[in-house]
Amino acid sequence: MDRKMVQNESMDMKKDVFEKCFKFTIAYELQKIGVYPYFRVIESAQGPEVIMNGKKMIMIGSNNYLGLTNHPKVKEAAINAIKKYGTGCAGSRFLNGTLDIHVELEEKLARFMRKEAALIFTTGFQVNLGVISSLIGKDDIVIIDKMDHASIVDGCRLSFGEVKRYKHNDIDDLERILRESEGKPRLVVVDGVFSMEGDIVKLPEVVALCKKYGTRLMVDDAHGIGVLGVTGRGTAEHFGLENEVDMIMGTYSKSLASIGGFIAGQKDVINYIKHFGRSFIFSASPPPASVAAVSAAIDIIESEPERREQLWKNTNKMLKGFKELGFDIGVAETPIIPVIVGEDELAFKFVMMLQEEGVFANVAVSPAVPPGKALIRTSYMATHTDEHLDRVLEAFKKVGKALGVI
Ligand code: PMP
């Protein structure tokens, strides 16, 4: 866009907050040469196949791990909730926005996560903002993994406490920080499953250190719930450590087929967050359809364990398939499998060539990943068939060879 058109000529524009916007041209440049991989428009439900530009694509860029966003019972629950309660609550939980189904879902989530209480938020991002900023005061320390999700980082930024970061999944580095920071109240916050790397937190070691150094522990299990654990309760269940984790955070935007999030833990802690979490109090409550969908999704997670089993069959097939083709998948061990390709431009090209082959995948470039380690982020669903997955591997083989990655 022409700068002059958006500038007020009568103002002194030597120091303009918009200056950075006029200089940010890379997105336009990538669009012009047809390798801009973001905001692609999908014209169908978020299934193992989606429609883009009228064409069927295999979707390996979705967090719909159990495939529940399109489950008839989940959709029916959402439709019925709209019929009874309408489309929105027009206010905060704190004031007029608490429905009976909000309270029922909190009780259900507390039971499901085997904690005393739970509190539901309107997005997962807001959970981390509200929980961390309300609990970490100016005399407290919050300790996070360097690869923790952006919402955890932002929750730390909003708190008045000190923030310390340790090297990704590096237990020695975590212990160094715990040793050096003794004497102040501390909270360690980790992702259960890391959203780019696809590896699982070394929870037994983290729990042992938290005990040794008298530190509270919170696990963000956005990508673990529904996926890990014998009954799909996530990372803590996977390791048999549910009683050792003080707080578990979850989102509805992955396995739970909706939008929103929750924190589960001790009653008094949840009650405190309920009265001091600003992203909870000063934001409207989750809409009825979203709440009802989550409740139905939890029922299905409990009654259809075969979905999780199928998800792991698919995951193991893809972990093996990528390795056999000679791709670098880093430390992946879950349905999130990054394929590391190298430079950013190569990754952009790679993902667009996959699109031409009928495969929708995501791309992550620096600063989201270290320079030279750009990756194609792939993730799988219980509803992918063997045929889908074979076609994905074929497409990766073709593009990987054409671009000299394998
Ligand atoms: N935590 C993690 C680990 C995530 O991956 C995400 C979303 N990608 C969030 C929190 C935020 O969740 P939501 O999308 O529900 O806001």
Q: CB-based contacts of 246: which residues, under 8 Å, 6+ apart?
A: 216, 217, 218, 265, 266, 269
- For residues 237 and 291, membership in a common domain is answered with yes
Is 254 one of the annotated active-site residues of the chain? yes
What pLDDT, on the 0 to 100 scale, is given for residue 367? 86
- Whether 291 maps to a domain, the answer reads yes
CA of 403 to the centre of ligand 1 (A): 32
Look at the chain and report how many structural domains it folds into: 2
Of 237, 269, 303, which residue is a domain's last? 303
Question: Relative to the CA of 252, which ligand 1 atom is closest?
Answer: 15
What pLDDT, on the 0 to 100 scale, is given for residue 1? 45
- For residues 295 and 309, membership in a common domain is answered with no
- Whether 21 maps to a domain, the answer reads no
Of the residues 125, 194, 290, which should be mutated to test ligand 1's pocket, given the most ligand atoms within 8 Å of the CB?
Answer: 125
- For residues 341 and 269, membership in a common domain is answered with no
What pLDDT, on the 0 to 100 scale, is given for residue 6? 53
- For residues 335 and 262, membership in a common domain is answered with no
- For residues 190 and 324, membership in a common domain is answered with no
Q: CB-based contacts of 119: which residues, under 8 Å, 6+ apart?
A: 106, 262, 263, 264, 270, 273, 274, 277, 280
- For residues 115 and 224, membership in a common domain is answered with yes
Catalytic residue among 164, 223, 349, 373: 223
Distance of alpha carbon 291 from alpha carbon 118, whole angstroms: 14
- Whether 266 maps to a domain, the answer reads yes
**Helix 288-303 and helix 100-112: axis angle, to 10°?**
30
- Whether 276 maps to a domain, the answer reads yes
- For residues 313 and 209, membership in a common domain is answered with no
- Whether 25 maps to a domain, the answer reads no
Per-position pLDDT tens, the chain of length 406: 445 455 555 566 778 999 999 999 999 999 999 899 999 999 999 999 999 999 999 999 999 999 999 999 999 999 999 999 999 999 999 999 999 999 999 999 999 999 999 999 999 999 999 999 999 999 999 999 999 999 999 999 999 999 999 999 999 999 999 999 999 999 999 999 999 999 999 999 999 999 999 999 999 999 999 999 999 999 999 999 999 999 999 999 999 999 999 999 999 999 999 999 999 999 999 999 999 999 999 999 999 999 999 999 999 999 999 999 999 999 999 999 999 999 999 999 999 999 999 999 999 998 888 899 999 999 999 999 999 999 999 999 999 999 999 9
Q: Find out whether the peptide bond into 367 is cis, omega within 30 degrees of 0.
A: yes
CA angle at residue 134 from 133 to 139, to 5 degrees?
80
- Whether 27 maps to a domain, the answer reads no
Of 257, 273, 303, which residue is a domain's last? 303
- Whether 248 maps to a domain, the answer reads yes
Q: What is the ipTM of this complex?
A: 0.99
Catalytic residue among 195, 253, 255, 258: 195
CA of 90 to the centre of ligand 1 (A): 24
Is 238 one of the annotated active-site residues of the chain? no
* Structure token pair of residue 392: 């994905």
Of the residues 253, 259, 262, which should be mutated to test ligand 1's pocket, given the most ligand atoms within 8 Å of the CB?
Answer: 253
- For residues 48 and 134, membership in a common domain is answered with no
162-193: b (≥16 Cβ within 10 Å) or e: bbbbbebbeeebbbebbeeeeeeebbbbbbbb
- For residues 258 and 367, membership in a common domain is answered with no
Domain that holds residue 111: 70-303
CA of 123 to the centre of ligand 1 (A): 8
**Pairing verdict, β 336-342 and 374-379:** antiparallel
Question: Relative to the CA of 148, which ligand 1 atom is closest?
Answer: 3
CA of 398 to the centre of ligand 1 (A): 32
CA of 260 to the centre of ligand 1 (A): 9
* Structure token pair of residue 134: 């309300």
What pLDDT, on the 0 to 100 scale, is given for residue 7? 54
Of 262, 286, 303, which residue is a domain's last? 303
For residue 187, report the phi and psi dihedrals to the nearest 5 degrees.
-130, 125
- For residues 236 and 330, membership in a common domain is answered with no
- Whether 14 maps to a domain, the answer reads no
- Return the SS3 of 264: strand
Question: Relative to the CA of 191, which ligand 1 atom is closest?
Answer: 3
CATH number at residue 360: 3.90.1150.10
**Helices and strands counted in the chain (H then E):** 16, 13
Question: Relative to the CA of 251, which ligand 1 atom is closest?
Answer: 15
- For residues 120 and 156, membership in a common domain is answered with yes
- For residues 309 and 365, membership in a common domain is answered with yes
Catalytic residue among 254, 274, 373, 388: 254
CATH number at residue 98: 3.40.640.10
Q: Which residues line ligand 1 (CB under 6 A)?
A: 123-125, 128, 149, 151, 191, 195, 220, 222-223, 251, 253, 261
Question: Relative to the CA of 126, which ligand 1 atom is closest?
Answer: 16
